[in-house]
Amino acid sequence: MAQKASAPAIYEVLTIIKDGKESVLKAKTINFNYYESLYSPVITANMMFLDAGGSTPDKKENLTSIKDGLPITALEDLQVKIQTKFGTLDFTKDPFKVTSSPIMHQESNRQTVLLNLVNSKEIKNSELPIFDRFVGKISDTVIKILQQKLQISQDKINVESTKNSYGVTGKGRGALNIILDLCRRSVPVKGDAGYFFFQTQDGFNFKSIDALLSQDSKQKYIYSGALRDNSDNSDNDFKIVLAPTVKKDQDITQALKNGTYVNRNVFFNPQTFEHSEIVFSVNKDGVKKTLGGDLPIKPEEVKGFTKTNHHILDIGSFEAQNLTPNNDPREWQATSQMRYNLLHSIVIKIQIPCNTELRAGDIIEIELESQQEDKVESPTDEQQSGKFLILHLCHHFDTLRSFTSLTLVRDSYGIRRSKD
């Protein structure tokens, strides 16, 4: 019988290593959680294991717990390889680093230990302050920092080209922090300003919001009573297990306060001491890509700007600027703020059978059951269904089951019918 996506985890490798000394945790593991997020430059994880006394020799060769015998303090390597129906989660060549190991529960001869884990590049980011000055296209700067400062191989880097340039000085910051700061300043070759910098199983990504929204749907998931009641249906690997939780649904009042649809931006140039002004409108200036069919409200219904933003004109490290639409800081300072706000118009959480093929930044389609009485005529809720962007992802594994939790976002309602 084929393995189900919700089956318990199969740990091929789960080993903690310190100074060449290893302890195998496979049989002791209670659960393991793996995380990706568009708002995190590195992947993270945590796990709980049962640590019994008398299992590991300490420095004096006395048998004690793993935590005391190894001992587990911080920065140990944790190698993990988990087999699932949809592939393998493999971090044996690039192990996690332990950042903390609190004891969650303790009895006379055993204890439950939580290991908080992070990708090793996060540690390097903290250990290596950068003072260099970078000039030129932002995408070239990102590649240079990843390769030269963090020693990340080219096959683990996915950087979308930017059309604008920007000068930046490290000022003692870490490599990851510098790149995160460049996200809102970046303009893609085609599309609106605004990038995300994040890590997935495949490597490090620097991608525009428009590029993420332009992807094809990776998978379709369905929430309906029929699938909930039929646990033997093979399609259950692509069902939504629990009712979707709506975390945010078109808070128009807050959107207007944030100036999401129309905002006025006043800039002060510290070089010339001049002021300039731009009124940015979704209706006039446009949004190149949306996931649904309709924005929460028609932008033309907003008669005037609903927020004024005051900025110091961001001209980088004072290199000469070419104030064209490609490189005018007034454009991206106004546009990126609108783009990030609009993207989070709708936020929902779902739980599905474990699918390690999914990544943060992927597009998935969800189909929700219609609330109408005539479900034969209208089986799908076309207002709430459609394409969503994966903002946060968690793969959960324990001794009883495996599942994936997703936080999804989109900027508009409904199912897109027109061709892009």
Q: What is the pLDDT of residue 25?
A: 93
Q: What is the pLDDT of residue 205?
A: 98
Q: Can you say whether the dihedral through the CA atoms of 415, 390, 158, 136 is positive or negative?
A: positive
Q: What is the pLDDT of residue 365?
A: 94
Q: How far apart are CA 213 and CA 224, in angstroms?
A: 26
Q: Find, among 408, 340, 349, 291, the residue nearest to 180 by Cα.
A: 340
- pLDDT at position 394 over 60: yes
CATH code matching the domain that covers 125-211, chosen among 3.10.20.30, 3.30.413.10, 1.10.630.10, 3.55.50.20 = 3.55.50.20
H helix intervals, 247-378: 252-257, 282-285, 329-343
Q: Structure tokens of 108?
A: 């006379």
- pLDDT at position 66 over 60: yes
Q: What is the pLDDT of residue 201?
A: 97
pLDDT-above-70 percentage for the chain: 82
What is the arrangement of strands in the sheet containing 308-312, beginning at the earlier edge strand? 275-281, 262-268, 308-312
Per domain, the residue ranges of the chain are 10-118, 125-211, 215-250+345-410
Q: What is the pLDDT of residues 165-215, one digit of tens each?
A: 888 999 999 999 999 999 999 999 988 889 999 999 999 999 999 999 999
Distance from CA of residue 170 to its chain's centroid?
24
Q: What is the mean pLDDT of the chain?
A: 85
Q: According to the per-residue pLDDT averaged within each range, which of 43-57, 330-344, 377-391 is highest? A: 43-57
Q: Structure tokens of 276?
A: 């300039």
- CB 14, CB 398: distance < 8 Å: no
Angle at 390 between CA 388 and CA 391, to 5 degrees: 120
Q: Find, among 368, 319, 324, the residue nearest to 348 by Cα.
A: 368
Q: Find, among 284, 399, 367, the residue nearest to 28 by Cα.
A: 399
Residues near 370 by beta carbon (within 8 Å), at least 6 away in sequence: 378, 379, 380, 381
Q: What is the pLDDT of residue 283?
A: 63
Q: What is the pLDDT of residue 366?
A: 93
The answer to whether domain 215-250+345-410 has CATH 2.40.30.150 is: yes
pTM, two decimals, is 0.89
Element (H, E) at 116: strand 110-119
- Coil, strand or helix: which one is 379? coil
Q: What is the pLDDT of residues 204-255, one digit of tens each?
A: 999 999 999 999 999 999 987 654 444 444 458 899 998 888 876 666 777 7
- pLDDT at position 420 over 50: no
Q: How far apart are CA 34 and CA 15, in angstroms?
A: 16
What is the average pLDDT across 112-133?
Answer: 96
Question: Nearest 5°: phi and psi at 2?
Answer: -65, 145
Domain 10-118 top-level CATH class: mainly beta
- pLDDT at position 267 over 60: yes
Tell me: cis bond preceding 270? Omega within 30 of 0 counts. no
For helices 175-183 and 120-127, give the axis angle rounded to 10 degrees. 100
Distance from CA of residue 20 to its chain's centroid?
33
Greater confidence (264 vs 398) lies with: 398
